[in-house]
Chains A and B, each alone.
Chain A
Amino acid sequence: MSRARWGTVAIVLLVLGSGFPLYWAIVSSFTPEARLYGTPSLIPRVLVLDHYRALFTQREFWVPIRNSLIVAGSTTGFCVLVGGLCAYALARLRFRGKAPLLGLILAVSVFPQISVVSPLYLLLRRLHLINTYPGLILPYLTFAMPLTVWLLVGFFRQLPAELEEAAMVDGASRLRTIREIVWPLAIPGLAATAILTFVYSWNEFLFALSFTLGPERQTVPVAIALFRGQYQVPWGQILAAAVVATAPVALLVLAFQRRIVQGLTAGAVKG
């Protein structure tokens, strides 16, 4: 077979391999509970909305969705704004101790999460932040921010410095230069970073489980995990919830697809 053929085969396998579980989850989420345990069939015969209805009537699933949106959204917003400025400073300004600082940031981002759960819990309890939005956003920032900064430093470094110099010679202040020149050029990189941060915060489980107490502050992954009762596991609802939880992320990625690819490759070549 020619090389192109092999390529096609590889793509088909990849799509099947990664697409099938998704397909199966979507199909199952529309299959009546009784049939879920019957003989599996690739093509569904009966499709019902039961699980979704149960999700939003019995379970009030919109609460964890709201919680997740607030927590992941705020984390992402902070990360991109503050982390963006930090990364710009690290990439462009000259100051002492820059290399150690970057190393430290990287070190923080690879810290095993489980090791800080208990100290963080004590800290948050002391601050009366257990079971609050800030009680999740702040810990998320400690992990997401270094990642954001690290990615964006690489991205800013490969933007040509002469553009900013030209702007400053043209009379633009440093902040004006950031707003008029750096920001528009950095949008692909910022979008890619924002999505990575959002996905990370949206899917995060350990902190969300440890630092919330009741359904009023639980995020989507925690809520789904707590679906299983003592005697039964409601697979249909769990899968429906998984589909609902994946949808915003998938939509986000599709919406920014071209920019992300640009951003990821731009950052990948250099920096």
Chain B
Amino acid sequence: MASVRLDGVEKVYPNGHVAARGLDIDVADGEFMVLVGPSGCGKSTALRMIAGLETPTAGRVLIGDRDVTALPPQERDIAMVFQSYALYPHMTVRENLAFGLRMRGAARPAIAERVEAVARPLGLDAVLDRKPGQLSGGQRQRVALGRAMVRDPKVFLFDEPLSNLDAKLRVETRAELARLHRRLRATIVYVTHDQEEALTLGSRVTVMRDGVVEQVGPPMEVYRRPASVFVAGFVGSPAMNFLQGDLVAVFGGDAQRGPVTLGIRPHDLVLTPADNADLIARVDVVEPRGSELLVHLRLGADGQGQEIRVVAPPEPMPPVDSVVGLHADRQRLHWFDTTTGKRIE
């Protein structure tokens, strides 16, 4: 296992599109690093540059202490799971799993042994002689994982490996991946656009936007102290509420520094009786979500103001069109400079 470092990496595609501008990402040995961000922000590009499938326009890529910027993928000793899985369609599962070992010149008996050892815990021993076309989506995904695991690479790279699975299978596989990481103590760089996946899996999370790193940190820190409006709005579900400009005065506090944005997570707002509340709002839509309610409100007694989302306990269910008060936990407010979008402490 080894560490991975992107050092001032830029990537300009031949058509002029800039997919990475000065990326600095440090992944420690044995760390599970998640790259997360909206579609098109350059996550796959970053991953592919680590793999050697794209060449950076500027900057360096290091694996361990070795500068691999100019090395082709074959010489980087990495394993990668593609979003499409990229299973070899003309080979059986066994041959798919064995391919990497065979290319690196392992001995036949050793390959067979290793393939069996990897296939068993993944539940693939019954389908070893089938072709990928005859497998279910979940099985294909596990073959893709298995193909990465048979070798003992320096780094594992995952590009949205769970995005083709249904919700249940996704949660199961997520736990499987966490276990895998603990067992192998592997260095993993994992790309996803799903912030929940990022929070649950990562030792650390890198939030990207338009080819730049917005914030790096442990999941709970990114969640509790988002460094910018963008991160605050991207991480956490349902998404954070933002109040701008003159609304700031309602809560008082130290908001004298020009235009500010106030962020409040739907979980940090409490519905109260209308009198004596921080804010007044009218109930618009109530969505029961089993253990809790997601209440959509509009600010103001007339219900004409901005939309606000609140997560409330399932009982009592507030009637639609009723006027309610909102109370916010002062400790859980997030202040941002509206012009720069940066967090204010």
A220 to B84, CA, bound (A): 50
Complex interface bits, B29-57 against A, C-beta within 8 A gives 1, otherwise 0: 00000000000000000000001110000
Q: Which residues of A in the span 145-168 have a Cβ within 8 Å of any Cβ on B?
A: 160, 162-163, 165-168
Shortest Cβ distance from B82 into A: residue: A162
Q: Given the complex, which residues of B lie within 8 Å of A170, measured CB to CB?
A: 79, 99-100, 103, 147, 151
In whole angstroms, what is the CA distance A185 to B89 when docked? 8
Q: Is the CB of A171 within 8 A of B88?
A: no
Residue from A94, A160, A171, A185 in contact with B103 in the complex, judged by beta carbons closer than 8 Å: A171
User: A176 at interface (Cβ–Cβ under 8 A)?
Assistant: yes
Cβ-defined contact, A169 with B79, below 8 A = yes
Number of interface residues, chain A, beta carbon within 8 A:
18
B interface residues, tally (CB under 8 Å) = 22
Query: Is B99 touching A94 in the complex (CB atoms < 8 A)?
Result: no
Closest A-chain residue to B53, C-beta based? Answer: A165
Most chain B beta-carbon neighbours within 10 Å: one of A163, A168, A169, A173:
A169
Closest chain B residue to A163 by CB distance? B86
Complex CA–CA separation, A180 to B73 (angstroms):
17
The verdict on A167 contacting B88 (CB below 8 Å), with A94-B14, A172-B103, A173-B74 known, is yes
B84 & A162 in contact (Cβ 8 Å cutoff)? yes
Q: Which residues of A contact B88 (CB under 8 A)?
A: 163, 166-167, 181
Complex Cα spacing A173 to B72, Å: 9
Residues of A within 8 A of B151 (CB): 170
Closest residue to B99 on the A side, CB-wise?
A170
Of B14, B73, B84, the contact of A169 (CB 8 Å cutoff): B73
> Quick check: is A184 within 8 A (CB to CB) of the other chain?
yes
Closest to B76 in A: A169
B27 within 8 A of A: no
CB of B104 within 8 A of chain A? Answer: yes
Instruction: List residues of chain A with CB under 8 Å of any chain B CB.
Output: 94, 160, 162-163, 165-173, 176, 180-181, 184-185
Binding site for A on B (CB under 8 A): 14, 51-53, 72-74, 78-80, 82, 84, 86, 88-90, 99-100, 103-104, 147, 151
Given contacts A94-B14, A160-B86, A165-B86, 15 further A-B contacts (CB under 8 A): A162-B82, A163-B86, A165-B51, A165-B53, A165-B73, A166-B82, A168-B53, A169-B52, A169-B73, A169-B74, A169-B80, A170-B99, A171-B74, A171-B100, A176-B103
- The list of the 6 closest CB pairs from A to B, nearest first, reads A170-B100, A171-B103, A166-B86, A162-B86, A168-B73, A172-B103
